[in-house]
Amino acid sequence: MLSQTLGLAVLALPLLAEASKDCSKATFQKVIPSNSTFNYVTKVAEGGTFTDAEANANATGLPEGCAVSVKVPTPGNSSYNMAIYMPNKWNSRIITTGNGGYGGFTNWQDLGQYSHYGFSAITTDTGHFNPNVLDSTFALNKGSLENWGWRAMHGSVLVGKALSAAYYGQTHKFSYYSGCSTGGRQGLKEMQVSPDAFDGVFVGAPAWWIPHLSIWTSQATLANLPQNSDHHISAALANVINDEILKQCDPQDGVTDNVIMNPAGCVFNPLTLLCEGAANASACITRPQLDTLYKALHDWTYFDGTLIFPVPSLGTPLVAYIGDSPIPNPMGTGAIEHMLLNTTEPYDWSTFNESVVRLSEAIDPGHGTPDNYDLSTFQKRGGKVIHWHGEADPIIPFRSSSYFYSQVASSVAPHDIEMDSFYKFFPIAGMSHCSGSQYSPWYIAGATQPLTNVSHGVPGFDDAQHNGLLALMRWVENGTAPEQLVATKYNNDDPTKGVYRQRPLCPFPKQPIYTHGNVDSASSWKCS
Ligand SMILES: *[C@@H]1O[C@H](CO)[C@@H](O)[C@H](O)[C@H]1NC(C)=O
Ligand SMILES: *[C@@H]1O[C@H](CO)[C@@H](O)[C@H](O)[C@H]1NC(C)=O
Ligand SMILES: *[C@@H]1O[C@H](CO)[C@@H](O)[C@H](O)[C@H]1NC(C)=O
Ligand SMILES: *[C@@H]1O[C@H](CO)[C@@H](O)[C@H](O)[C@H]1NC(C)=O
Ligand SMILES: *[C@@H]1O[C@H](CO)[C@@H](O)[C@H](O)[C@H]1NC(C)=O
Ligand SMILES: *[C@@H]1O[C@H](CO)[C@@H](O)[C@H](O)[C@H]1NC(C)=O
Ligand SMILES: *[C@@H]1O[C@H](CO)[C@@H](O)[C@H](O)[C@H]1NC(C)=O
Ligand SMILES: *[C@@H]1O[C@H](CO)[C@@H](O)[C@H](O)[C@H]1NC(C)=O
């Protein structure tokens, strides 16, 4: 058997060497599913621009290569499109990217980014086209919902790997994943559906707990409604409250630098904001508003105290999740209508109670929730995960990630697996959803972390210490685990204007602790 295999390999080698990177349908026809069709097979010249009709961006300045897209029909009157970009100078690796919200688009922004590393890079449209990431009407078609949940990603990875092997005449050496938000969820889901899909998974702020998260986005705004009630907190007042939270919490971490390094460790006293005796009547809160604030700062639970969904951490901009609009956040409303009740009839929030959450759990829309926490199969075949999340994320609360982490930890523990052996979670203090912070270092070259005029990587510091993807590759391929990462903030988020601050990110549950020296320098901090 062995000699037979070797014999075949020897025979195959000259053929492989002849593989001509021929960017034509003939190269790929034999490897796509028999029920599938090409959307395009297009050669791209060095420095070229490419996009397609479903793209979220134009990929510009591409390395010379081949763009292919395939349409795969799926059961239930549905289909998905996948696309891959294959640079001619290939690093022998594949990467798959993800999407955002309920959106359906091909992620040419990320394909462009990853092609510069030399990856052949895969994207899926999730099974529908809609650049509006808040619109869930696609879910009325249950075939499309299943595609969004997991099927489009799963199939796109398989088709993409086959296209890549056909183009280069050899299979990839390593397979990676990188995505944020829904993209984070898709990566965690696919590694559970198929533990051998990826060798390394780089996920940010995963929107993983869909049955609760979608409804929470609306539930969080209900407490601040109606707008004309005496308990309503306006956007302006929410900013006053955030200023007070920063004032109290920032020094408690030992360094006053406009960054709350440890929101969970802050003791916040909201009573200092009460109007009773306050000098400025437009910068204080009433007792009814205090009740709204209390809800905004405490987790949503069932009557028996079981967690439904964690609220964002202290320091997260309140208005971004309690809202200042006359209606509840339409993301949750849409999910209830299109994913649970399967109707276009408007949902009546006056009838809302937690039974809707139970219904959501029972349905698990599109079977998209990665709650098969036992990742031991993935770990045993050498898989590694780097998971990151901004601690000031108003869209996907930070602690939904620490909850996921602890679920995985307790599921692999019976297999004698330590999380540190394969799964590291890096909180990013002060960062918003996937990217961005005014004062805090946040950039690690993650998915959907765009920087002005940067094609890829961490300008000036493009190494496994500062670039999370390179850290993951080094861990997977060389066995060197990242003991910390260093996040960077450039002045005005423009690398040509120089570095504003750098700071270590520590693997959860470790924390960055200031030791001595310049607070803006990573070497002044340690993980402990
Ligand atoms: C791509 O570029 C074209 C031409 O500049 C522009 O019209 C189009 O909106 C861009 N597409 C995306 C998705 O940004
Ligand atoms: C088309 O083929 C793919 C790949 O084999 C399969 O997953 C999919 O279910 C097929 N579509 C239909 C409508 O049967
Ligand atoms: C299939 O889906 C399309 C929209 O995607 C719809 O227009 C059409 O009516 C559907 N066909 C059936 C038989 O449900
Ligand atoms: C009162 O507070 C508001 C909101 O913070 C602020 O805009 C205004 O300048 C304050 N007025 C005085 C007199 O401090
Ligand atoms: C809506 O569709 C889902 C399938 O995605 C199904 O499980 C659920 O029972 C349907 N809801 C109603 C109210 O029929
Ligand atoms: C909760 O809402 C459901 C409908 O969504 C309703 O059937 C049920 O009676 C409500 N329960 C309570 C306790 O109000
Ligand atoms: C980014 O690049 C574009 C095109 O090369 C240029 O027009 C623009 O001024 C650059 N922006 C910055 C902030 O450097
Ligand atoms: C693995 O280590 C070798 C030798 O130090 C280095 O050249 C290579 O770049 C490393 N690979 C990765 C993916 O970090």
**Closest to 442 (Cα-Cα) out of 485, 405, 496, 401:** 485
Question: How far is ligand 1, taken at its centre, from the CA of residue 58, in Å?
Answer: 6
Does residue 332 form part of some domain?
yes
- Would you say the CB of residue 282 lies under 6 angstroms from ligand 4? yes
Would 172 be classed as within a structural domain?
no
Q: How far is the CA of 1 from the centre of ligand 8 (A)?
A: 34
Domain assignment present for 88: no
pLDDT, average across residues 498-509: 98
- Residues 416-446: pLDDT tens digits? 999 999 999 999 999 999 999 999 999 999 9
Ligand nearest to the CA of 131: 1
pLDDT for the residue numbered 14: 35
Cα–ligand 7 centroid distance for 452 (angstroms): 8
User: Nearest C-alpha to atom 3 of ligand 7 is from which residue?
Assistant: 453
Ligand 2 close to Cβ of residue 33 (< 6 A): yes
* Position 290 in a domain: yes
* CB of 127 sitting under 6 A from ligand 2: no
Q: Which ligand neighbours the alpha carbon of 357 most closely?
A: 6
pLDDT beyond 60 at 1 = no
Of ligand 7's listed atoms, the one at least distance from the Cα of 494 is 13
Residue type, 22: D
Give residue 31's region: left, alpha or beta (phi > 0; psi -120 to 50). Answer: alpha
Token digits for 80? Answer: 């998905």
Residue 391 has pLDDT above 60, yes or no: yes
Q: Ligand 6, atom 11: nearest CA belongs to which residue?
A: 353
pLDDT for 277 equals 82
Q: SS3 of 516, please?
A: coil
> What Rg value do the Cα atoms of the chain yield, rounded?
24
Q: Which ligand is nearest to the CA of 341?
A: 5
Structure tokens that stand for 69 in this block: 């897209």
Could you give the percent of the chain with pLDDT greater than 70?
A: 96
Domain holding 224, by residue range, is: 213-366
DSSP assigned state of 106: B
Residue type, 234: S
Per the structure block, which two tokens stand in for 487? 């996040």
- 255 domain residue, yes or no: yes
Encoded amino acid at 59, one letter? A
141 C-alpha to center of ligand 5: Å? 11
Q: Give the pLDDT mean for 443-471.
A: 94
Ligand 3 centroid, distance to 77 Cα (angstroms): 6
| pLDDT tens for each residue of 256-311 | 999 999 999 999 999 999 999 888 988 999 999 999 999 999 999 999 999 999 99
What's residue 11's pLDDT?
38
Q: What is the pLDDT of residue 278?
A: 83
Number of domains in the chain: 1
In a domain, 437, yes or no: no
Torsion of CA 250, 255, 259, 265, to 10 degrees: -50
Note whether residue 253 is domain-resident.
Answer: yes
Instruction: Give the side-chain half-sphere CA count within 13 A for 136.
Output: 27
Ligand nearest to the CA of 491: 7
Ramachandran region, residue 416 (left: φ > 0; alpha: ψ -120 to 50; beta: rest): left
* Residue found by looking up tokens 């905004």 in the block: 296
What distance in Å separates the CA atoms of residue 268 and residue 238, rounded to the nearest whole number?
Answer: 15
Beta-ladder partners of 185: none
Is residue 18 over pLDDT 70?
no
In whole numbers, what is the pLDDT of the chain averaged over residues? 95
Ligand 6 atom nearest to 356, measured from its CA: 5
In this structure, the residues whose C-beta lies within 6 A of any atom of ligand 5 are: 142, 145, 341-342, 363
Q: Whose CA is nearest to atom 12 of ligand 5?
A: 341
pLDDT class of 124 with cuts at 50, 70, 90: very high
**Does 13 reside within a domain?**
no
Give ligand 6 pocket residues (Cβ under 6 A): 351, 353, 355-356
Q: How far is 246 from 258, CA to CA, in rounded Å? A: 7
Atom of ligand 6 nearest to the CA of 359: 5
Between the CA of 302 and the centroid of ligand 6 the distance, in Å, is: 14
Per-residue confidence band for 91, with pLDDT thresholds at 50, 70 and 90: very high
The pTM score is 0.94
Exposed / middle / buried, residue 142 (Cβ in 10 Å: 0-12, 13-18, 19+) = middle
Mutate to test the pocket of ligand 6, among 353, 360, 361, 363 (most ligand atoms within 8 A of CB): 353
The per-residue pLDDT for range 316-363, each reduced to its tens digit, is 999 999 999 999 999 999 999 999 999 999 999 999 999 999 999 999
In the reported structure, the alpha carbon of residue 226 is separated from the centroid of ligand 3 by a whole-number distance in angstroms of: 39
Task: Give the pLDDT score at 2.
Answer: 35
Residue 19 has pLDDT above 60, yes or no: no
Atom of ligand 4 minimally distant from the CA of 240: 5
Helix pair 182-193, 152-168: axis angle to 10 deg? 80
CB of 75 within 6 A of ligand 2: the answer is yes
pLDDT in tens, 190-231: 999 999 999 999 999 999 999 999 999 999 999 999 999 999
* Cα of 375 from ligand 5 centre, angstroms: 29
CB-CB contact of 34 with 86 (8 Å): no
Is it the case that residue 13 has pLDDT exceeding 70?
A: no
Measured from the alpha carbon of residue 244, the closest ligand is: 4
Residue 510 and residue 420: Cα distance in Å, rounded? Answer: 12
Place of tokens 């009157």: 77
Tell me the one-letter amino acid at 147: N
Ligand nearest to the CA of 363: 5
